[in-house]
């Protein structure tokens, strides 16, 4: 059943991450009625460091997210380690031009979540299992992975913001193997709890 609020413009956003919430915020600002579905039972936290440059801060301000963000640029010395354990002085976020802010992915997600309006519809434990596009709408079958309940609803727009293993992409464009190309690289960054040094470990395979 189509919701007639917001002029009938109803959007399904799959994924309660940064991109999903940012999309929902902007669509809400221009009069759409977004519905966010999330596979997990609750909002996820944690994640990698990200750099927030001037354009990113401007976008955060327009979306109402900047108010809840904080700069985590590290102090002290940064080191790079290679796979053999060799150490050398490296660069950190503090060395980047433009005074880029540093934040944890979880910081940005928490800020975006705080900026969501109170009437934003969020459904947890929900995943799309079928997507059919028509001339004027999209039929989406949603399955609740907690109780198995299945519903089919009409939307004007479906946004896949559900990450590398996107269910939306697989349902619309086919198996992941056709659309994902792995680069065979791993990058990990962490801050030692009792030291001002930032250590980075980089490996590459293949």
- What pLDDT score does 178 carry? 83
Please, which residues have CB within 8 angstroms of residue 199's CB and are 6 or more apart in sequence? 78, 79, 81, 190, 191, 192
The position carrying tokens 């010395």 is 77
Query: Which is more confident, 181 or 145?
Result: 145
pTM of this structure: 0.78
pLDDT in tens, 6-47: 456 999 999 999 999 999 999 999 999 999 999 999 998 877
CATH number for the domain formed by residue range(s) 5-73+99-182: 3.50.50.60
CA 160 to each of CA 98, 100, 170: distance values in angstroms, whole numbers, following the listed order: 31, 28, 10
Domain ranges (residues) in the chain: 5-73+99-182
Angle between helices 18-29 and 54-63 in degrees, nearest 10? 50
pLDDT in tens, 92-141: 777 877 778 888 889 999 999 999 999 999 999 999 999 999 998 999 99
Between CA 166 and CA 47, with CA 30 as vertex, the angle to 5 degrees is 35
């Amino acid at each position: 059943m189509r919701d007639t609020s917001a002029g009938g413009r109803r959007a399904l956003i799959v994924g309660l991450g940064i991109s999903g919430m940012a999309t929902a915020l902007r669509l809400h600002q221009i009069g759409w009625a977004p519905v966010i579905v999330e596979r997990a039972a609750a909002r996820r936290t944690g994640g990698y460091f990200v750099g927030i440059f001037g354009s990113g801060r401007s976008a955060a301000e327009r979306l109402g997210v900047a108010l809840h963000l904080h700069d985590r640029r590290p102090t002290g010395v940064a080191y790079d380690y290679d796979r053999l354990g060799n150490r050398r002085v490296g660069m950190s976020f503090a060395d980047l031009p433009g005074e880029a802010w540093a934040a944890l992915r979880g910081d940005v997600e928490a800020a975006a979540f705080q900026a969501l309006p109170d009437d934003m519809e969020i459904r947890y434990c929900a995943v799309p299992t079928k997507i059919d596009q028509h001339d004027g709408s999209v039929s989406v079958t949603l399955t609740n992975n907690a109780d198995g309940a299945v519903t089919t609803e009409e939307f004007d727009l479906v946004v896949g913001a559900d990450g590398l293993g996107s269910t939306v992409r697989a349902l619309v464009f086919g198996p992941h193997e056709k659309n994902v190309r792995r680069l065979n690289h791993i990058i990990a960054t962490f801050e030692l709890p009792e030291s001002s040094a930032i250590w980075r470990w980089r490996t590459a395979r293949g």
